Amino acid sequence: MVWISRMCWRKYGNFVDNLRLYVRGGSGGMGLPRLGGQGGKGGDVWVVAQKEMTLKRVKDKYPQKRFIAGVGTNSSVRALRGQKGEDQEVLAPPGITVTNDDGMVLGKLNTEGDRVLVARGGQGGSYHSEFLPSKGQTRQIRLDLKLIADLGLVGFPNAGKSSLLTALSHAKPQIASYAFTTLRPEIGKVMYEDHKQISVADLPGLIEGAHMNRGMGHQFLKHVERTRQLLFVVDVCGFQLASKTPFRSAFEAVQLLIKELELYKEDLPCKPAVLVVNKMDLPDAEDKLAELQEQLLNPHEFSHLLPDDMLPKNNMVFRHVVPISAATGFGIAHLKTCIRQSLDKDASMATDSLHRDRLQALRGAVPAKNTLTWGPHRLSLS
C-alpha cells in the first residue's frame, strides 16, 4: 500500500454505502371521551433525497441511528381535534434503495426531493378505539447506495481509461486521442478463471473544477459514487488538457483527482482504491515511474508543486499501485490479480449487514500498513 499524504494529513475514514436505521412513527394523541374528541395522529418518518447528503453524513450526524417522529396532541376541551405529531425526515443522497429488515423494498430515491414513507404514525384515540391512541409503526430499515459496477475508472481525459477497459474486458468503448471521448459510463466485465466476473465502469474523464460542475463534472462524479471501489488511472508522463492549461505530472494528477472527489463529497476518497500508472510503453516511462514512486512515498516534500487549495485535505490509501500499458498489455494480468484481491477482501467482510457494520467499524480502527506493492517493473514490449 502507498500513503499519499503530507505528514500532517488525517486519514480518510471509511466510505459508507449502506446504513441500518431504527425508525418509529409517533404515537397518536388521546381522545376525549366526555366530548367525543379525537386525538391527533402521530407523525410519520420519511426518507428524503437531498443532493448534498451522503450516508456517511447521516451516520456521523446521528450516531444512534434512531429516528422517532413526534407524538400527536391529546384532544382537549379547547381543541377537540388533537394536532398531528411532527414528521421526522431522514435526509439521504439520491440513488438509494430503502428496504426493511426482510429485504422488502419500501421505495427508491432517484432524484432530489423523492420521499419514501418508512414508518407511519399511530392513529389518535377516537370513539372507534375507545379514545385510546395507537402506537406508531416501528421498523429497522436499510439504506443501500445503488451501485452501477464493482469498479469505477477515475482519471483525467486521455489517461487511457477506455483503453484499459478494453484490455481488461471484452467491452468495446470509444477510444480516441482527444479528450472526452467517453461521455456516458460503459460497463465491461472482467472474467476470471474460476468464472468470477467483476464489472468495471468506464467513467468519463474528470477535469479540474469538475466538483463545481465544470465539464459536466457533477454528472461524471455522481457515477463515481455508485461503484464499490475505484481504479485511478494516470498517464505516467503526465498530461495537459489544452494548450492554455498547465501541464500536470502523474503525481499532480493523482492529487488533483483526490481533490476533485473530496470537493464533490468528502467521503468519496474513502473508497478502497487501486492506482494504475498507464502508458508504460512510452519513452522515459521507467524514469517517470521512479519519480512518481518517490513522490507518492514522500508527498509532503512535493506539496509545493500545487497551490495549497489544490492539495487534498486528507491522505488516501491505495491498496496497490500497478504500472501497466493498456496499449501493449504489460501489467494487465498483475492488475487483474490486484483488483480481485481488493474486491475479495471487501466481499468477505460484507456477507450480511450486521456483520458488515461491525467489520466496517473495526476496519476504521485498524491503521493501514505503510507497505508498497508494485507490479512488475521490466517492460516486455513485444
Out of ligand GTP, Mg ion, none, what residue 269 binds, judged by CB under 5 to 8 A for its kind, is none
**Using rule CB under 6 A, residue 278 touches ligand GTP:** yes
What CA–CA distance (Å, rounded) separates 370 from 106? 43
Q: Do the Cβ atoms of 257 and 250 come closer than 8 Å? A: no
- What SS3 class is residue 256? helix
d(CA 198, CA 191): 7
- Check residue 282 for interaction with ligand GTP (CB under 6 A): yes
Which of 140, 181, 303, 373: binder of Mg ion (CB under 5 A)?
Answer: 181
Following CA atoms 266, 269, 270, 273 in sequence, which dihedral angle do they give, to the nearest 10 degrees?
170
In whole angstroms, how close is the CB of 70 to ligand GTP at the nearest point? 50
Residue corresponding to grid cell 414528521: 87
Smaller CB separation from ligand GTP, 183 or 362: 183
To Mg ion, the closest distance from the beta carbon of 13 in angstroms equals 30
Site residue total, Mg ion (CB under 5 A): 4
As a whole number of Å, the CA-based R_g of the chain is: 25
The least distance separating ligand GTP from the CB of residue 15, rounded to whole angstroms, comes to 23
Cell of 174: 470509444
- Residue 329 CA to residue 382 CA, distance in Å, equals 9
Cα–Cα distances in angstroms (integers) from residue 231 to residues 57, 91, 199, 368, in the given order: 24, 29, 12, 18
Chain residue at closest Cβ approach to ligand GTP: 205
Residues that contact ligand GTP, how many (by CB under 6 A): 24
The three-state secondary structure class of 277 is: strand
Binding partner of residue 179 among Mg ion, ligand GTP, none, CB under 5 to 8 Å per kind?
ligand GTP
Among residues 51, 61, 50, the alpha carbon closest in space to that of 19 is found at 61
Q: Does 152 bind ligand GTP (CB under 6 A)?
A: no
CB nearer to ligand GTP: pick between 281 and 291: 281
* Interface residue with ligand GTP, options 73, 74, 182, 255 (CB under 6 A): 182
User: Of ligand GTP, Mg ion, none, which one does residue 326 interact with (CB within 5 to 8 Å by kind)?
Assistant: ligand GTP
Residue 94 CB partners (closer than 8 Å, separation 6+) = 49, 50, 51, 109, 110, 111, 112, 114
The yes or no reply on residue 327 touching ligand GTP (CB under 6 A) is: yes
Among 76, 83, 97, 181, binds ligand GTP (CB under 6 A): 181
Residue 215 lies near ligand GTP (rule: CB under 6 A): no
Give the separation between CA 156 and CA 178, rounded to whole angstroms. 11
CB of 186 to Mg ion, least distance (A): 8
Site for Mg ion in 158-177 (CB under 5 A): 161-162
Considering the complex, what minimum distance in angstroms separates the CB of residue 253 from ligand GTP?
11
Which residues lie near ligand GTP (CB under 6 A)?
155, 157-163, 175-177, 179-182, 204-205, 278-279, 281-282, 325-327
Binding site for Mg ion (CB under 5 A): 161-162, 181-182
